[in-house]
Amino acid sequence: MNKVIIDKQDLVHNIKKIKEHSKINSPDDNGNPVKIIVVIKANAYGLDLKQYTQFMIDQGFDFFAVSTVEEALEFRNLGFKQKLLMLSSTAIKEEIEELVQNDIIITIGSRESANIVNEIAKEQNKKIKAHIKIDTGFGRYGFIYSNRDEMIETIKLLDSNIQIEGTFTHFSNAFYDDKYTKLQFQRFIDCIEVLKMNNIDTGILHVCNSSAFVKFPQMHLNAVRIGSAFTGRLSFQNNLGLKRIAKLESQVTEIKTLPSKFNIGYSNIYKTKKETKIAIIPSGYINGINIELGQDTFRPIDKLRTIVRATKNAFKKQELYVDIAEQKCRILGRIGTFHVIADITGKDIKIGDKAKFNINNILVNPNIQREYI
């Protein structure tokens, strides 16, 4: 059976590092510590929304964020009462109604969404908590930073039942393009100044995702939104010392000996060179295995390395390994959707032995059990 194993101690380690780092520019302008908003989108990055959220609550976190209406409602359906921010704005009335009904902090990011929220605020005559989103160059949610008049006019027309508790933006390339991130930050700060000049209370300001949080302490402002850093997966080199908290554990389900010159796997890219003892492990791409290969290609140097590696591999087939019963075994043939074949010739490996893989946790099939150890 396959399981995602999440190491609680490693997660606690990451939490400690992240908390320490959040203190660099703390207290903020208001004299408060920089608030950490725990992002739990995509089933808590594939680590199980319920277990992960409970763990984070036990660690003292009390403010969470998700990307979709479904996730927001699931959070409430699981019984969590903590503050929850829905990071995407929507101009669909039923969606906003559901969010408001479930005491979820909504995001207002357009004139259309503002109009609908106004309607609901008037109809229900009840306080609605909202954050304002500004699009500083992502091209997705938020008021376009350069259309200031529209933004100000819309916000000024918000019903008095709508409470603006925060204002934020999202960076499109914080893991790679520092210059662009700084430009987005400046656009945001300029907008905030204009909003303040118009006597608009912006609430808490937050712009950082994990990458910006690690790289730019000067951008921490009042709060930061952290997701992937907790899981230990950042796509650029950093010295925060975060650990990857999730691994996929599988088992050897079959062992057999193949004759020489026998094909292994799809596309016939591998043939045994001699009699070969193999272990079959029922786990593949569907579980996020090995997606990482060729992934860290964000900096030019990484791109170059990837090209060099790929060129080399064209001559000498790429060698991948899996750890079975604490022994490094070479993977033979192409990794399948559900299967990996490993060479265990001459090794003391039995049916039922455990195999461990590095994974991209966000991609692991949801039907696989998540276990916190």
Ligand X SMILES: *Cc1c(COP(=O)(O)O)cnc(C)c1O
Chain residues in the site for ligand X (CB under 6 A): 39, 41, 67, 87, 170, 209-211, 225-229
Nearest distance, CB of residue 229 and ligand X, angstroms? 6
Cβ distance to ligand X smaller for residue 82 or 327: 82
Cα separation, 3 vs 81, whole angstroms: 29
Report in angstroms how near the CB of residue 174 gets to ligand X at its nearest: 8
| CB of 64 or CB of 357, closer to ligand X | 64
Clarify whether 285 is annotated catalytic. no
Largest CA-CA distance found in the chain, in angstroms, rounded? 79
Question: What phi, psi does 321 have (nearest 5°)?
Answer: -130, 155
Of 206 and 339, nearer to ligand X (C-beta) is 206
Smallest gap from residue 46 Cβ to ligand X (A): 12
Q: Taking the CA atoms of the chain, what radius of gyration do you get in angstroms?
A: 24
Q: How many helices (H) and strands (E) does the chain have?
A: 11, 18
Question: And the tokens for 82?
Answer: 């903590």
Q: Exposed, middle or buried: residue 60 (CB in 10 Å: 0-12, 13-18, 19+)?
A: exposed
- CA-to-CA distance for 156 and 197, rounded, in angstroms? 12
Catalytic residue among 17, 35, 41, 129: 41
Do the beta carbons of residue 160 and residue 197 sit within 8 Å?
Answer: no
CA–centroid distance for 178 within its chain: 20
Cβ burial of 373 (10 Å; 0-12, 13-18, 19+) is exposed
Q: What angle do CA 144, 147, 149 make, to 5 degrees?
A: 135
User: With respect to ligand X, which residue has the nearer C-beta, 154 or 209?
Assistant: 209
Tally of residues, the chain:
373
Q: What is the nearest approach in angstroms of ligand X to the Cβ of residue 225?
A: 4
Which of 228, 290 has the CB closer to ligand X? 228
Q: Which amino acid is at 277?
A: K
Find all residues with CB under 8 Å of 130, minimum gap 6, and list them.
105, 106, 107, 108, 117, 162, 163, 164, 165
> Nearer to ligand X by C-beta: 299 or 356?
299
Catalytic residue among 122, 126, 266, 321: 266
Q: Minimum distance from CB of 207 to ligand X (Å)?
A: 9
For residue 177, the minimal CB distance to ligand X (Å) is: 14
Whether 266 sits among the annotated catalytic residues: the reply is: yes
Active site residue ranges = 41, 266
